[in-house]
Chains A and B, each alone.
Chain A
């Protein structure tokens, strides 16, 4: 056990937590915005995958990393708009549409990737982002190199959390989002367009999911691989519940999950006894389920979540 403890307080371990938490933080914030407006987005897993593919492809073809990030964000926003079209404009079942969006985007991601790159024995890769040390701060012992010598997308994730909190709690638009998620009828009476606000929130959420996908294919793996997302989207949905639909708590949940995941990776590497490595791979998912069981008792979801809004009815 002391071996494990020793490893926790290492630069590499802290950096690993941050690296694992970054895509989760983007995805969790994205899902949170969507759900705060009353729309569950189960398309997240597929949206992340498709965005990872378009981001990687755009960079691979153009040589520009930021163009790739842009492509991923636009892809995410577009797929968010698709989900909103079905669930908000047409009022269809959010559960089933989300699964539909995931199946569709995953299929499309694999299809287009194979179409563009063909079947190659060595998968193509890109030159990834380089770390960007922040002067002075990166000199802080242990914490500095782990937290302040990171990739620009990591800093963006760090900035996204307070920004999301500000937008949600301190801007008129954030108020609209919360209102259409809690009481769409009241929001409608107050002159807020429920449909428009929900569309905007789901599209913003999709864009953030796109960033999560971009991080996976352009920073973490430098390649697009099959099963790249491998359940991270589903985990993000659970983290929103765990984080009680709050940006800070959600980010905290992402960090906690990343801690468990990083620990799992370390334990796997240290070859603890004869435990199969799959047991460690399961750990984060089991942890999430248990955490949800503990948290769900007093977690209060936005009251209009899953409920379509039609002006004419009732």
Chain B
């Protein structure tokens, strides 16, 4: 028999080893599906690797794809730190995309447009996140369910826009009109899609880390997450901090939408996010809710997503494998996390 025994201390190298262990376990587990699809495991992962990290263009594509996941990952990490269960990053991202698209279509000098798009997108995301937070603080509504349900509401609102007032009257496709060329985020590397938002995402991670680790708000967020009773006893206005956390989390998720509109698609369509909001949960957990860890975690998932399509073309393994990898990675990481708090002890024939 084995038993879980509480650890008194966690070895430091665990923090680095655990996510790698989880990712390793995930790749091994998912190789069964590749074999089931009748492809060579090494070959399939090889194609995935080379298509996402093999050459400089592949690397830029992975960076571009990692960008929204860094933002949603940060959004989820910040929220989960305070035990505000924001599962609504998907809807907040869509709201951010719509708001920045609306602003980007207004004629004005480019830099101003980009600035206002960013502000509008962040504000829209924050506004959406405010709903589940308010419902929780005022009406004790479970934030998990309300933020989940809001994703559907926002999605249909987006659909109503692009099939209604924003519909392309020329082609008849449910796609919004594009933002003005002057509002397109500058491309950093000729011939790639590497845009200014990518840099912003990489800068956001250390900023959010600083905020969580070194500021008063960050301290309050952490205390509330660890022990709300103690926080209240210690004079922290729990409700106010929860609302601030929600606003910050929603704004970050909204920025994910801004980057997709300003730097990648330049307009809004129904599939502008292939579930980046949910990927954010995987990213945040792989990062152990550490904002700095969000970057490598997002890069890993982005590489998987970028590589999956090439793998599918080359080996016939359905590209949905990347979705399975995401889910498995999340579960594997949760199990791995268990080992930070507990160690497995062999015990005699206990009952």
Interface 0/1 of A85-126, CB less than 8 Å to B: 010001111011101111111111011001100000000000
Bound complex: CA A20 to CA B315 (Å): 40
Interface 0/1 of B310-351, CB less than 8 Å to A: 000000001011111111101100110110000000000000
Q: Is B112 an interface residue (CB 8 A)?
A: no
Q: Which of B94-102, B138-146, B205-213 contacts A (4 or more CB under 8 A)?
A: B138-146
Residue of B6, B139, B140, B320 ringed by the most chain A CB atoms within 10 A: B320
Name the one of B4, B140, B281, B325 contacting A296, with C-beta atoms under 8 angstroms: B140
Q: B142 contacts A292, CB within 8 Å?
A: yes
Q: Is A293 an interface residue (CB 8 A)?
A: yes
Q: Is A202 an interface residue (CB 8 A)?
A: no
Name the one of B3, B140, B324 contacting A108, with C-beta atoms under 8 angstroms: B324
Name the one of B140, B149, B325, B330 contacting A100, with C-beta atoms under 8 angstroms: B330
Q: Is A276 an interface residue (CB 8 A)?
A: yes
Q: Chain B residues with Cβ under 8 A from A296's Cβ? A: 139-142
Q: Chain B residues with Cβ under 8 A from A114's Cβ? A: 318, 320
Contacts A92-B334, A111-B323, A286-B153; is A42 near B318 (CB within 8 Å)? no
Name the one of B3, B146, B330 contacting A103, with C-beta atoms under 8 angstroms: B330
Nearest CB on A from B165, distance (A)? 9
Q: A289 contacts B140, CB within 8 Å?
A: no
Nearest CB on A from B72, distance (A)? 13
Contacts A42-B144, A234-B145, A285-B152; is A115 near B327 (CB within 8 Å)? no
Contacts A92-B338, A110-B318, A234-B152; is A278 near B330 (CB within 8 Å)? no
Q: B142 contacts A241, CB within 8 Å?
A: yes
Q: A276 contacts B160, CB within 8 Å?
A: yes
Name the one of A96, A101, A238, A297 contacting B140, with C-beta atoms under 8 angstroms: A297
Q: A278 contacts B156, CB within 8 Å?
A: yes
Bound complex: CA A86 to CA B4 (Å): 13
Q: Chain A residues with Cβ under 8 A from B325's Cβ? A: 107
Bound complex: CA A108 to CA B318 (Å): 10
Q: B338 contacts A111, CB within 8 Å?
A: no
Q: Is B37 an interface residue (CB 8 A)?
A: yes
Nearest CB on B from A110, distance (A)? 4
Residue of B150, B282, B318 ringed by the most chain A CB atoms within 10 A: B318
Q: A231 contacts B285, CB within 8 Å?
A: no
* A278, closest chain B residue (CB): B160
Q: Is A288 an interface residue (CB 8 A)?
A: yes
Q: Is A78 an interface residue (CB 8 A)?
A: no
Q: Chain A residues with Cβ under 8 A from B152's Cβ? A: 230-231, 234, 282, 285
Name the one of B146, B320, B326, B328 contacting A289, with C-beta atoms under 8 angstroms: B146
Q: Is A281 an interface residue (CB 8 A)?
A: yes
Q: Is B148 an interface residue (CB 8 A)?
A: yes
Q: A278 contacts B159, CB within 8 Å?
A: yes
Name the one of B33, B148, B327, B337 contacting A105, with C-beta atoms under 8 angstroms: B327
Q: Chain B residues with Cβ under 8 A from A111's Cβ? A: 33, 318, 320-321, 323-324
- Report, as a range, how many residues of chain B touch the other chain: 35 or more
Q: Chain B residues with Cβ under 8 A from A293's Cβ? A: 135, 139, 141
* Overall SS of chain A's interface: helix
Name the one of A40, A101, A235, A281 contacting B156, with C-beta atoms under 8 angstroms: A281
Nearest CB on A from B138, distance (A)? 8
Bound complex: CA A293 to CA B149 (Å): 13
Nearest CB on A from B289, distance (A)? 11
Q: Is B217 an interface residue (CB 8 A)?
A: no
Bound complex: CA A110 to CA B317 (Å): 12
Q: A96 contacts B327, CB within 8 Å?
A: no
Q: B338 contacts A292, CB within 8 Å?
A: no
Interface positions, chain A 226-274, Cβ under 8 Å from B, are 230-231, 234-235, 237-238, 241
Contacts A103-B330, A107-B327; is A90 near B278 (CB within 8 Å)? no
Q: Chain B residues with Cβ under 8 A from A3's Cβ? A: none
Interface 0/1 of B152-165, CB less than 8 Å to A: 11001101100110
Q: Is A279 an interface residue (CB 8 A)?
A: yes
Q: Is B114 an interface residue (CB 8 A)?
A: no
Interface positions, chain A 39-89, Cβ under 8 Å from B, are 40, 42, 46, 86
Q: Chain B residues with Cβ under 8 A from A107's Cβ? A: 320-327
Q: A99 contacts B149, CB within 8 Å?
A: no
Q: Is B266 an interface residue (CB 8 A)?
A: no
Name the one of A86, A106, A281 contacting B327, with C-beta atoms under 8 angstroms: A106
Name the one of A93, A101, A238, A313 contacting B145, with C-beta atoms under 8 angstroms: A238
Contacts A288-B149, A289-B146; is A103 near B278 (CB within 8 Å)? yes
* B144, closest chain A residue (CB): A95
Q: Chain B residues with Cβ under 8 A from A106's Cβ? A: 323, 327
Q: Chain B residues with Cβ under 8 A from A297's Cβ? A: 139-140
Bound complex: CA A111 to CA B3 (Å): 36
Interface 0/1 of B256-280, CB less than 8 Å to A: 0000000000000000000000100
Bound complex: CA A157 to CA B278 (Å): 32
- The list of the 10 closest CB pairs from A to B, nearest first, reads A104-B327, A107-B323, A103-B327, A278-B160, A107-B324, A114-B318, A100-B330, A111-B320, A110-B320, A278-B156
Can you list 21 contacts pairing A with B, beta carbon distance less than 8 Å?
Answer: A96-B334, A99-B278, A100-B331, A104-B324, A104-B327, A104-B330, A107-B320, A107-B323, A108-B324, A110-B318, A111-B324, A231-B152, A235-B149, A276-B164, A278-B157, A278-B160, A282-B153, A282-B156, A282-B157, A285-B149, A285-B152
Given A95-B87, A281-B159, A293-B135, 9 additional A-B pairs, CB 8 A: A103-B326, A105-B327, A107-B323, A111-B324, A114-B320, A241-B145, A278-B157, A296-B140, A310-B4
Give residues in A with beta carbon < 8 Å to B. 40, 42, 46, 86, 90-93, 95-97, 99-108, 110-111, 114-115, 230-231, 234-235, 237-238, 241, 276, 278-279, 281-282, 285-286, 288-289, 292-293, 296-297, 310, 312-313
